[in-house]
């Protein structure tokens, strides 16, 4: 979809181009959006959980998913602890909180870019 180094997307949930969802959406694994969602989008926090939004896809609400591949539009904040990939037709009206970000020329963000600190490994007690 973007380049050979981009995430491989596993699709467990598909919302088609003609679908309009009103309300929050929670999913597991991977979700691809061609339609419209008026509500927040969340996934489990497992590594690899991914949301991909095509050029025809749009979300009016916050997104909290570890990995986001965006070609469409989001009106709300995006929180992606792992990676955000913004394609040339991506439009974001809100802040983007990210672990790693990739942007293609043409992507638009009307908000702040905020890097999230990597999650610290649990402290190991030292023998003393």
Number of structural domains the chain divides into = 1
Q: What's the pTM?
A: 0.85
What does pLDDT average to over the chain? 90
The pLDDT of residue 7 is above 90: no
Q: Is 66 domain-assigned?
A: yes
Query: Which strand (E) or helix (H) includes residue 127?
Result: none
Q: Is 1 domain-assigned?
A: no
Q: Is 109 domain-assigned?
A: yes
Which pLDDT score, from 0 to 100, does residue 46 have?
83
* pLDDT one-digit tens code per residue, 53-80: 999 999 999 999 999 999 999 999 999 9
Residue 74, strand partner residues: 59, 92
* pLDDT one-digit tens code per residue, 106-119: 999 999 999 998 76
Tokens 């439009």 sit at which residue?
Answer: 91
More confident of the two residues 126 and 92: 92
pLDDT band per the 50, 70, 90 thresholds, residue 123: low
Q: Is 8 domain-assigned?
A: no
- Residues spanned by the domain of 83: 13-115
Q: Is 58 domain-assigned?
A: yes
Q: Is 19 domain-assigned?
A: yes
User: Which tokens in the block code for residue 7?
Assistant: 């995430």
DSSP one-letter string for 34-94: SSEEES-EEE--STT-EEEE-TT-EEES-EE-SEEEESSEEES-EEEEEEEEE-TT-EEES
Q: Is 3 domain-assigned?
A: no
């Amino acid at each position: 979809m973007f380049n050979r180094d981009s995430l491989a997307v596993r699709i467990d949930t598909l919302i088609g181009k003609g679908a309009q969802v009103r309300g929050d959406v929670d999913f597991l694994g991977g979700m691809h959006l061609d339609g419209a969602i008026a509500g927040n989008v969340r996934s489990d926090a497992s590594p690899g959980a991914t949301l991909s939004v095509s050029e025809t896809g749009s979300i009016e609400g916050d997104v909290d998913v570890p990995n986001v591949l965006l070609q469409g539009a989001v009106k709300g904040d995006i929180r992606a602890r792992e990676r955000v990939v913004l394609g040339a037709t991506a439009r974001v009206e809100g802040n983007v909180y990210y672990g790693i970000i990739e942007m293609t020329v043409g992507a638009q963000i009307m908000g702040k870019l905020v890097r999230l600190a990597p999650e610290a490994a649990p402290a190991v007690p030292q023998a003393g």
